[in-house]
């Protein structure tokens, strides 16, 4: 199974692709999308949508997982996060992929073992769990962590399904 992880943001959206062979995870690719900040909002969303679609078309993942957006205390920041999240959820679904969502704490627990881990700990564990991956930019490492979380969760669900 090939998984696309996505960490949504209007200024930076991280993406990461991993292959899952049972318990073994293999790093495929990662990157960060930076829609031009000087353009109108609708144009930035088009750029975000097309770049995610291009990643899906290049690497053909089977499933996608998105980090649930942090609800900020500032309502306008929350609204902007929501706008980016709408497009990040839409793009893989429009390509026909099932899209799962996980909270930031759930992802940290799955990858580091603690729900309130530091960003640097997440990057370190991503490098350890994906040999050969240098961890990339911080937003890309977060996206790889989402993919790892989904791989563990989906494998566990399949094992539970086989038992039941």
Q: Binding to a copy of itself by residue 83, rule CB under 8 A?
A: yes
Stretch that binds a copy of itself, among 26-34, 65-73, 108-116, 150-158 (CB under 8 A): 65-73
For residue 156, give both structure tokens.
């566990």
Tell me the HSE value of 151 on the side-chain side, using a 13 A CA sphere. Answer: 28
Three-class HEC string of 45-94:
HHHHHHHHHHHHHHHCCCEEEEECCCCCCCHHHHHHHHHHHHHHHHHHHH
For residue 18, give both structure tokens.
């991993």
19 annotated active-site: no
94 annotated active-site: no
Cβ contact 10:33 at 8 Å: no
Q: Which residue in the list 30, 57, 62, 67 is annotated as catalytic?
A: 67
Q: Binding to a copy of itself by residue 24, rule CB under 8 A?
A: no
Q: Binding to a copy of itself by residue 27, rule CB under 8 A?
A: no
Task: Single out the residue of 17, 20, 25, 84 in contact with a copy of itself (rule: CB under 8 A).
Answer: 84
Q: Which residues, 93 to 122, sit near a copy of itself by CB under 8 A?
A: 93-94, 99, 101
Q: Are strands 2-7 and 13-21 parallel, antiparallel or unpaired?
A: antiparallel
Q: Which residue in the list 30, 63, 139, 142 is annotated as catalytic?
A: 139
Task: Single out the residue of 14, 92, 135, 136 in contact with a copy of itself (rule: CB under 8 A).
Answer: 92
Q: Helix, strand, or coil here: 102? A: strand
139 annotated active-site: yes
Binding site for a copy of itself (CB under 8 A): 40-43, 45-46, 49, 69, 71-73, 75-76, 78-87, 89-90, 92-94, 99, 101
């Amino acid at each position: 199974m090939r998984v696309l992880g996505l960490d949504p943001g209007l200024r930076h959206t991280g993406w990461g692709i991993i292959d899952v062979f049972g318990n073994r995870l293999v790093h495929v690719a990662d990157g960060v999308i930076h829609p031009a900040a000087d353009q109108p909002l609708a144009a930035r969303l088009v750029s975000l949508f097309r770049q995610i679609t291009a990643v899906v078309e290049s690497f053909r993942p089977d499933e996608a997982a998105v980090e649930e957006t942090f609800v900020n205390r500032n309502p306008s920041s929350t609204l902007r996060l929501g706008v980016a999240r709408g497009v990040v959820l839409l793009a893989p679904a429009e390509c026909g992929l099932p899209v799962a969502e996980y909270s930031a704490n759930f992802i940290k627990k799955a990858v580091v073992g603690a729900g309130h881990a530091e960003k640097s700990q997440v990057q370190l564990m991503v490098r350890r769990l994906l040999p050969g991956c240098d961890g990339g930019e911080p937003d890309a490492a977060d996206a790889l962590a989402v993919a790892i979380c989904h791989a563990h969760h989906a494998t566990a669900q399949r094992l539970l399904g086989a038992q039941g």
